[in-house]
Amino acid sequence: MLEFDGARYLDPDGKPIDGAPMGILLSAWAALQPDAMALAIGGRVYNFAQMDAAANRLARHFADSGMAAGDKVVLSMPNRAELIQAIFGLWKIGAVPALISYRLSAQEFGEIVDLVGPFCVIGDHSTHATGCRFINVDQALPEGISAVPGGRS
């Protein structure tokens, strides 16, 4: 089962300890200050609780798709909240994000994807098609996937 307990990665003052996993730290900060601003992008503001809930749902979706710790995953899309949420979702399950510019030509993009050899490519409508499995972030958060760390309901 996925482990999202962040408390053990914080010192008594609530600061991250050395070596704390990034995905877990998002959950820890969400527990400590859920309403504090975590990200402002594209005219929208997200608090830590919102970012963590989205990252948890994506982590579950990724794990349910067969993705596992150590899998390389290409991400390619413009800067947007879903990019950051997907990165944290990958870190939560131990997958390895490999960011590739969506501005490359289709040929350049395909050649780099071939070199990486990823489990899949995560992106949006701007992402070049490859022969690789594709997860569209705009369709990756179906209802019924828990946003609760470590829970299924």
* Domain carrying residue 17: 7-139
In a domain, 20, yes or no: yes
**Ordered alpha helix ranges (H), 14-80:** 22-32, 48-64
The tally of domains found in the chain comes to: 1
Q: Would you state the torsion angle of the CA atoms of residues 25, 137, 97, 151, taken in this order, to the nearest 10 degrees?
A: 40
Q: What percent of the chain has pLDDT over 90?
A: 65
From CA 90, how far away is CA 116, in angstroms rounded? 16
| pLDDT level of residue 29 (50, 70, 90 thresholds) | confident
Query: Which CATH number goes with the domain that contains 110?
Result: 3.40.50.980
Least confident of 5-14, 32-41, 106-115, 124-133: 5-14
